[in-house]
Structure 1
Amino acid sequence: MLRLLRRYPAKTPVSAFQPRFFTSKVSESNASSIELNEHTNRPLPLNVKLLQHEPIKLEPTHGDLVGKLTVSSFISLRDVQFLSDFLLRAAFYLGIPAKGPTPKQKNIERWTVIRGPFAHAKSKQNFERITYSREIKLFDADPEVVQLLFAIAAKHTMAGVTVLGNAYVNDAFNPKELESIQNINPDFNQEVVNQIKKYMNEGNDEDLSNILKELETGINK
């Protein structure tokens, strides 16, 4: 335990051991601008102050779309807005450039059923359900960081709110696939293209199906 203690001079003031952020000495000019917590009488952290403002968004550098988050609910629009706000803040702290939340078109569903059996069988009752959705687009981020944001969304989801995540990954092209494409007979392909154009002008569906079969057999060869 003694090895963990730092050595200070004998005349070190007590204020040196206090955290700089929570020092009790505050200048009179800044005393009015600092917001204190009513319970602890200490300054509020910066991330807590940011909750009073709109989420900060990082600007995309390359514009590569790497993922989408769709938040939807038919119970409460406020829950959709609240969770979208939370996901935008999480994306900022993870360093993911994001845009949104963009309102999507409302999905309105209606049902008409009988009011009840026997005496009420001739009367009908209508039900309506409106689903609200917001979309958040993610750009220029590593796939692992995007999956981390999806895990946060799945862990901290709200009751009655659905979060759908789509990730887009760019895979490298295999050179062997390029060689197989180059080995296809170009004369055969041009012949098939000419026949397809001919039958498309004539509008014969049976001939088009035959051309497609010939195209499949030619590629397999």
Structure 2
Amino acid sequence: MKKTCFILFAVAAIWACKHTVETPADGSQTGNTGGGNTGGTPGSNVVCFETEVLPIFKSSCAKSGCHDVQSRREGYVLDSYDNIIKKGIKAGDANDSKIYKVLVDDDEDDRMPQRPNPRLTTAQINIIKKWINEGAKNTTNCGTTCDTTIFSYSQGVKPILETNCYGCHNGATTSAGINLTLYSGVRTVAINNRLLGAITHSAGYTPMPMGSNKLNDCQITKIRKWIQAGAPEN
């Protein structure tokens, strides 16, 4: 009887070892988390710093007179991961991070970006908040999914422009006289080929986004397909 009980106990212990997933002391899950420098994988739902967060800072903050290398307003340079996390970011706690708090500040004198620059959109602010709360990691080369069959203006094109272009091409700071926050402005540069020429870095056009990485192939394909469809307001 004792021998039988021992065998049953051993089998149960082995089964438990094979099926138990350890949880780190900090409560995070190991495995498909998208942490470190490699970024998330499709379906991980982890914010990718390289493609989702950095473009917002570079478009809306790291500009002349604000937080580029030359201007350094209040000592902040917001053009790279290392510079962004130097101060004002408390990893894991957006509500205690100065950079996040100035984005949601109701005081026009304290909020960022300051006038005449427009406020970040709610979606952009939420992305930055989520990134900070996830640990403010330098997630790069992220395996995020990108569906080129979704190329309508509202779901495919506008979100790309919002993240990468609104900081310079808005109603207050219409760089080169182009306002991409309005459909009419986007359609104009789409039809005359300036939009596609700029984002593909074609000869004769100023490469865009200015001072940032070129849009990825999927993003360019979405915009190209939308233009080929007639650039509708859909």
Q: Normalising TM by the smaller chain, what interval?
A: under 0.3
Q: Tell me the TM-score normalized by structure 1.
A: 0.22
